[in-house]
Amino acid sequence: MTLSNVLTFSPEVAEARAAGRPLVALESTIITHGMPWPQNVETARAVEDEIRAAGAVPATLALMAGRIHVGLTSQELERLGQTRDAMKVSRADLAACLALGRMGATTVAATMICAHLAGISVFATGGIGGVHRGAEVSFDISADLAEFSLTPVTVVGAGAKAILDLPKTLEVLETYGVPVIAYGQDDFPAFWSRSSGLKAPLRMDNVGQIAASHLMRVNLGVTGGQFVANPIPIEAEIPRAEIDPFIEQALAEAQRAGISAKAVTPFLLQRMFELTQGRSLICNIALVKNNARLAAGIARALNGLPTS
């Protein structure tokens, strides 16, 4: 069996590949486990449109009937958005999900692997997984972090959510040799808030620098990818003082309910949506679109195309 038997390119992505146009990968766990229907599908479409408007081509990744779909048709996206039993697929589950022929939504880790297999170097998401609070007891550290040490994809996210332990998350990324690059500011952003109060290890101010650094790593043979932490637009931000009490409450509830393993992140996202009366979702949509625009710029820079 060869790779071409496993990858299915959508017509739009196939055409872009043939023409050598810049591509941006998108994950699908955010669709199946990160947002409620129908906003999940509406957002996925809006994010794809941002990338097109910024002069690149979107490739939403998902697993269906034993194949890695690189780019989804409108019907496939709708089916994924409505399904209730898609697997949440990380590095550990990727081969198994395909072998079983199940529907699978890719996390950051699995999306990086699939993007790399498809020859795509840039990927936009909302937030990455990280080290959970209490990880010194639970050992709950997202496989997303280790993936950055292995797979050469530049990922744009709005930092990491403050439901995580952010200092420990930055420490683990450093241990894995991952460049964590704040875009246009010194502080590491905290998803709904522009600042976490922590300084990011690196800062870059334009897409040319990010593309040059990506290419330099490849050139040097340094394995792994980069994490670009792009702060949420000011007008969409929920300041830390406002969001913190909801975070504390969601975390306490998760603990009381004994939520563990893969269920932790989806549980916390859903509770934050309810506790903020939907405001967390409005923020989430704004920041994903913002990340999509930046990723499109990086993809263009990697292709040597003009960027605005």
Site residues (CB under 5 A) for Mn ion?
Answer: 140
Catalytic residue, chosen from 50, 161, 237, 289, is 161
Of 93-152, binders to ligand PSU (CB under 6 A) are 107-108, 126-127, 129, 142-144
143 binds, among ligand PSU, Mn ion, none (CB under 5 to 8 A by kind): ligand PSU
Q: Is residue 29 within the footprint of ligand PSU (CB under 6 A)?
A: yes
* 8 A C-beta contact, residue 66 and residue 305: no
User: Toward ligand PSU, which CB reaches closer, 295 or 301?
Assistant: 295
Q: Which of 17, 69, 161, 300 is the binder for ligand PSU (CB under 6 A)?
A: 161
User: Toward ligand PSU, which CB reaches closer, 98 or 105?
Assistant: 105
> Closest CB to Mn ion belongs to which residue?
140
Which stretches of the chain are DSSP H helices?
Answer: 11-19, 29, 39-53, 74-82, 94-100, 108-117, 135-138, 143-147, 166-175, 207-220, 240-256, 264-275, 279-302
Q: Is residue 154 within the footprint of ligand PSU (CB under 6 A)?
A: no
Q: Which of 163, 165, 197, 168 is nearest to 182 (CA)?
A: 197
State phi, psi for 239 to the nearest 5 degrees: -60, 155
Stretch that binds ligand PSU, among 25-33, 65-73, 214-222, 293-301 (CB under 6 A): 25-33
- Rounded to a whole number of angstroms, the minimum distance from the CB of residue 128 to ligand PSU is 6
The Cα–Cα gap between 144 and 138 comes to 17
CA distances from residue 261 to 118, 164, 200, 255 in whole angstroms, order as listed: 29, 14, 28, 12
Q: Which of 121, 265, 276, 290 is the binder for ligand PSU (CB under 6 A)?
A: 265
* 8 A C-beta contact, residue 117 and residue 152: no
Residues that bind ligand PSU (CB under 6 A): 27, 29-30, 34, 107-108, 126-127, 129, 142-144, 161, 191, 262, 265, 269
Question: Which residues have a catalytic role annotated?
Answer: 27, 161
